Amino acid sequence: MQLLIKTFHGLEAVLAEEVKDLGGKNIELLRRAVSCEGDLKFLYMANHHLRTALKVLLPIEHFNARNEVELYNKTKQINWSKYLQLNQTFAIDPVVFSKTFTHSQYVGLKVKDAIVDQFRDKTGRRPDVDTQFPEVSINVHVSNNQVNISLDSSGESLHKRGYRRTGHPAPLNECLAAGMLLLAGWEPSIPLIDPMCGTGTILIEAAMMAAKIPPGVNRRKYLFMNWKDFDRDLWMSVVRSAKQSVEAPTVSIIGGDIDSQSIDLAKMGSLDFGLGRLIKLERIAFKSHLPKTKEGLLIFNPPYGERLREKDLNAMYQEIGDHLKANYNGFDAWILSSNTEAMKHIGLRPSQKLTLYNGPLECKFQQFNVYEGSLKKKEKGN
Ligand SMILES: C[S@@+](CC[C@H](N)C(=O)[O-])C[C@H]1O[C@@H](n2cnc3c(N)ncnc32)[C@H](O)[C@@H]1O
């Protein structure tokens, strides 16, 4: 079967790699998604194992609709009893980019009406809608007049791993953090430092990768479990073999943060999956944070000045650059920030600049190779 796996802008290529490693076939990169082919086992594995996936959709129908009447009629032609039972609740999740259909809620309403009317015509009864906790969720994607209808096999977004603690103003999304590690080419053999770790999302994602702990390890519910063809034995075999692959790796994963409450949150999050042993956390300002290895990778997102108010963000970014140049010779630093002006004050030339989104904020994820001579060059240039 064909699957559509959704992700964030900029993570399509790393998701495609994950899909390939998991055994997906005929992989294609799309906008904020990857399409591929796989069997039922692959669908379960994709939900359980993909670190940069937000949702796994199963397309069931696509057609052209020039107006709402066609949308209604063509939706009503689908045999909905294959996908939804009378006693199950359902919801429509409309995503619309169209000049013809301008209101996504209206598209959702038309599709809902068509489904409900089909059941009523056949049985005199109809399934109920539950927008919050539906048992079946139907994704309707309209691009101009092209309508794609899919079943959502995941339900709640897959970024919700279950280790997140509330109390930090600016935590990274878990999928984004995993994607940053993959984009930076991090591997468990490379010492990793997040010197402004906040709740520790990057570090926890890294430790989970190193220990081969699937991102879905704590999750009990996926919507595919409500489908007619749900194969419990197959699902249990996926979970069992994932458990058997968990390792106790030797890694160097280090986090620092100037704020003691953030360090406490990071510690609590890392304990959830028994990762406390793998991640060393310390309350320390970056300007005092010195490397314990000769080489390695720093990945972090400093305050951008959006949600966290900093008195002088440019000076702070300059301090980051100066400290890197003075003390992290031989390291690669990947920094995510939406503040392009402040980024210039790092004073190092980026060797790669990628665009990612942290929520609604467009960010640059930049790689800086800190090597001998960075400081001298800057001094000469001044
Ligand atoms: C945007 S948040 C990082 C969020 C983190 N990636 C997460 O997922 O929770 C930036 C963090 O940098 C910390 N920070 C700010 N200035 C710092 C400094 N000079 N040294 C170390 N940490 C600092 C803040 O306390 C905050 O937790």
Over residues 151-178, the mean pLDDT reads 91
For residue 295, count other CB atoms closer than 10 A to its CB. Answer: 12
Instruction: Walk me through the domains of the chain, giving residue ranges and CATH numbers.
Output: 2-152 (3.30.2130.30), 174-212+248-381 (3.40.50.150)
Examine the pLDDT at 118 and tell me if it is beyond 60.
yes
Distance CA 336, CA 155 (A): 29
Q: Give yes or no for a contact between 27 and 34, defined as CB atoms under 8 angstroms apart.
A: yes
| Residue 361 Cβ < 6 Å to ligand 1 | no
Over residues 229-252, the mean pLDDT reads 96
Query: Which is more confidently placed, 33 or 170?
Result: 33
The one-letter amino acid code at 138 reads: I
Q: How many angstroms is it from 13 CA to the middle of ligand 1?
A: 28
Q: C-alpha distances in angstroms, 319 versus 149, 150, 313, 325? A: 51, 49, 10, 10
| Residue 269 Cβ < 6 Å to ligand 1 | no
For a mutational test of ligand 1's pocket, the pick from 164, 257, 267, 307, i.e. the residue with the most ligand atoms closer than 8 A to its C-beta, is 257
Over residues 274-290, the mean pLDDT reads 95
Distance CA 4, CA 265 (A): 34
Over residues 59-85, the mean pLDDT reads 97
Q: Give yes or no for a contact between 136 and 112, defined as CB atoms under 8 angstroms apart.
A: no
Distance CA 136, CA 117 (A): 17
Q: Give yes or no for a contact between 350 and 373, defined as CB atoms under 8 angstroms apart.
A: no
Sign of CA dihedral 157, 159, 161, 165: negative
pLDDT digits (tens, 9 = 90+) for 309-342: 555 889 999 999 999 999 999 999 999 999 999 9
| Residue 319 Cβ < 6 Å to ligand 1 | no
Distance CA 122, CA 372 (A): 75
Residues whose CB is less than 8 angstroms from the CB of residue 278 and which lie 6 or more positions away in sequence, other chains included: 207, 210, 211, 249, 251, 253, 270
Q: Diameter of the chain by CA atoms?
A: 82
| Residue 337 Cβ < 6 Å to ligand 1 | no
Chain mean position to CA 162 = 14
Distance CA 312, CA 187 (A): 34
Structure-token pair, residue 144: 């101009």
129: which DSSP letter?
Answer: B
Over residues 78-89, the mean pLDDT reads 98
Q: What is the pLDDT of residue 102?
A: 87
| Residue 259 Cβ < 6 Å to ligand 1 | yes
Chain mean position to CA 92 = 22
* End-to-end Cα spacing for the chain: 60
Chain mean position to CA 341 = 26
Q: What band does 372 get if pLDDT is binned at 50, 70 and 90?
A: low
Distance CA 25, CA 130 (A): 34
Q: What band does 274 get if pLDDT is binned at 50, 70 and 90?
A: confident
Q: How many angstroms is it from 312 CA to the middle of ligand 1?
A: 15
Distance CA 225, CA 221 (A): 7
Where residue 198 falls (left for φ over 0; alpha for ψ -120 to 50; beta otherwise) is left
Distance CA 46, CA 145 (A): 30
Q: What is the pLDDT of residue 382?
A: 41
